[in-house]
Chain A
Amino acid sequence: VSTSAASRPRARRRKGVWLGSLAILLSVVVFLVPFAFIFVTSGKTQQEASRLEFSWPTEWAFFDNVLAVIRTNDYVLLRAFLNSTILTVGAVAIMVVLAAMVGYVLQRRASRWNGLINALVLAGLIIPPAVVPTIWVLQGTGLYKTLWGLIFIHVAFGLSFCILLFRAFVASIPRELDEAALIDGAGPLRLFFQVIFPLLRSVIVTVVVVQAVTVFNDFTYALYFLPGEANATVQLTLYNYQSQGLNQWNLLFTDVLLITIPPLIMYIFFNRQIVAGMTSGAIKG
């Protein structure tokens, strides 16, 4: 009995090595090869890239490609990065503050509106937005084809997810804290912005990171609500670039690579928060 008990963990460890190695090998083929393909193609000359082979570049033209991509269409990519940055920062900032206010009052105060608000939050997660009527509203308010319009669109569509996360987190902050602040004479605005809001730090990081990646990667809403080459977002430049059907695969994949870098950086630094946000938000939804 004792030998089998001792050999069992060892057998399991051996199985772990064997299974792990197999999984790593498979993951390289399935998940890393596509990224490696982007990388090597972005390093090739136009002629070599047009063969679409998965091979090491015979001569590296990576920096020439980067410069060429940036120069394309009168530096449209730089403007696109600027636009996407403004869009992401603006939308996420507004979303976080407004959703935190809703999530906080929704959790703290039992009002007869709560049922309706909760239903609307769920509806916002589930119902696909109506495209042309939204354009109609944007035109009516003078926001169509403006960056502000797209920022507000992202705010409206992203609020639901943020509210759910904030409501769940506010529940973990003791009410005694509110009461202490009230006794110290704080009004509702000071109570929220100076006492509660700073305590939401960890969930704010989660919301910011998840929504920043979502807004930055968004293609559909930009396509509908911010059309036109002049003030495109990065996803739209990539799409326009592809639509032109040029045979410049090296430049196309350099563009793909450049656009993949911001989410990669986010992932490296905020891995834990992204995972927390995506699973908890998902489980609540």
Chain B
Amino acid sequence: MAVAMQGLRDVERGTGRGRKHSLKKAYPLWFHLPAGAFYLVLFLVPTGASFYFSLTRWTLFDVEFIGFDNFVQFFREPALVQGFVNTFVYAFVTSGLKVVLGLALAVLLTSQIIGRGYLRSVVFFPVLVSTIGVGITFKVLLDPFDGLVNQVLGFFGITGPGWLTDPHLALLTVAGVDVWKGVGLATLIYIAGIVAIPQEFFEAARVDGASAWNNFRYIILPLARPATVTVVLLSLIGGLRSFDLIWTMTRGGPGFTSDVIASVIYKQYQAGFFGLSTAGNVILFVVVAAIIFPLSWWLNRKDNES
């Protein structure tokens, strides 16, 4: 084997130019084409077309160009504006909680405690469960009267709120269930980040008599930064686009108080306002791009500086 490799290297050196030419042929660019075809037809074309269709009144039967009317309507109707605002609330609440809880759980699950393997599995498993199943289950558990949560609270003499029926609470309750389901992934990413920190740091800290808090503040927090960047970006992307959990648990209600852009898109589509629905898609596109691209650029730039 080693001899063959030596021979290969000789061949390489001998025919430098020819080799380059043949290697190009070995990795044909048409390998990109089959995947590219799917991507182009089912993703790029619809995304491009959405910019045109968002400017139309579009029904099953015909398309009529109406300029920016859809966008004007989107930001004039209180119900739709609420969905717009809620999208940010939902994304930032879930993302923030996933960062904080994920980091805390990861620190706990990388320390010397009993039942670590079990704990890691049990925290992660909800990530793999069907969102619809989780939504249905929590809808029942959070039932204002018969639900387990309020029954337990009642046992302690506390009158639990209508988690999904109180207009001020519904969106945050769904966000909480989202965190329950998704915190396992954040934890896992943080665990990977913490495990990758060289042990020498902790040994040096121990020699210096650093406390557990110092370890966390001056070693784990700065060195797990790439994990934080990943968790923030990933959960923001997911949070801004999220639809299925909200739709299963509240359908945007009560009223429009837990609507987000993605559920508005579905409602308008169901009602047959395809143009307005597509305008929602364009707005979501702009929101996601306007948050994610600058944020990832900023986070990664600071990453390089340190």
Contacts and interface: CB of A to CB of B under 8 A. Distances in A.
Interface of A: 12-13, 16-17, 19-21, 23-24, 27, 30-34, 37-38, 41, 51-54, 94, 98-99, 101-102, 104-106, 108-109, 111, 113, 117, 120, 124-134, 136-138, 141, 152-153, 155-157, 159, 163, 176, 178-180, 182-183, 188, 191-192, 213, 216-217, 219-220, 223-224, 235, 238-239, 242, 249, 252-253, 256, 259-260, 263-264, 266-267, 271, 274-275, 278-279, 282-283, 285
A16 B31 contact: no
A133 B49 contact: yes
Contact of B146 (A12, A19, A52, A183): A52
B186 to A, nearest CB: 9
Given A136-B49, A279-B189, A33 B148 contact: yes
Contacts, number: 269
Contacts of B151: 53-54
Contacts of A182: 22-23, 26
A82 B111 CA distance: 44
19 contacts: A21-B114, A98-B34, A101-B31, A104-B27, A108-B26, A127-B288, A128-B241, A130-B285, A131-B266, A132-B53, A132-B278, A157-B42, A178-B26, A259-B133, A260-B129, A274-B128, A282-B185, A283-B227, A285-B234
Interface in B145-189: 146-148, 151, 180, 185, 188-189
B220 interface: no
A27 B233 CA distance: 27
A213 B124 CA distance: 14
B292 A98 contact: no
Nearest to A113: B29
B31 A192 contact: yes
Given A52-B146, A157-B43, 14 more contacts: A16-B113, A52-B147, A127-B47, A133-B50, A156-B38, A156-B42, A176-B8, A182-B22, A182-B26, A216-B130, A219-B132, A220-B243, A238-B132, A259-B132
Interface of B: 4-5, 8, 11-12, 19, 22-29, 31-32, 34-36, 38-39, 41-47, 49-50, 53, 58, 108, 111-116, 118-119, 121-134, 136-138, 140-141, 143, 146-148, 151, 180, 185, 188-189, 192, 226-227, 230, 233-234, 237, 240-241, 243-244, 248, 262, 265-266, 269, 274, 277-278, 281-282, 284-285, 288-289, 292-293
Nearest to B242: A220
A99 B8 contact: no
Contact of A235 (B5, B132, B241): B132
B119 A27 contact: yes
Given A126-B237, A126-B288, A133 B38 contact: no
Contacts of B8: 176, 179-180, 183
Say whether chain B's binding surface is mostly helix, strand, loop, or mixed: helix
Contacts of B241: 128
B244 A20 contact: no
A188 B248 contact: no
B175 to A, nearest CB: 16
A138 B111 CA distance: 51
Contacts of A37: 137, 140-141, 148
A90 B173 CA distance: 36
Contact of B185 (A117, A124, A266, A278): A278
B34 A256 contact: no
A142 to B, nearest CB: 13
B225 to A, nearest CB: 12
A102 B170 CA distance: 44
Which of B49, B113, B124 has the most chain A CB within a 10 Å cutoff? B113
B35 A102 contact: yes
Which of B32, B121, B278 has the most chain A CB within a 10 Å cutoff? B32
The 6 A-B residue pairs with the shortest CB-CB distance in the complex, in nearest-first order = A20-B114, A130-B50, A20-B113, A156-B42, A133-B46, A109-B27
Given A130-B46, A179-B8, A180-B8, A219 B115 contact: no
A20 B130 contact: no
A100 to B, nearest CB: 9
Nearest to A94: B38
B130 A235 contact: yes
Contact of A213 (B115, B121, B128): B128
Contact of A51 (B47, B146, B248, B285): B146
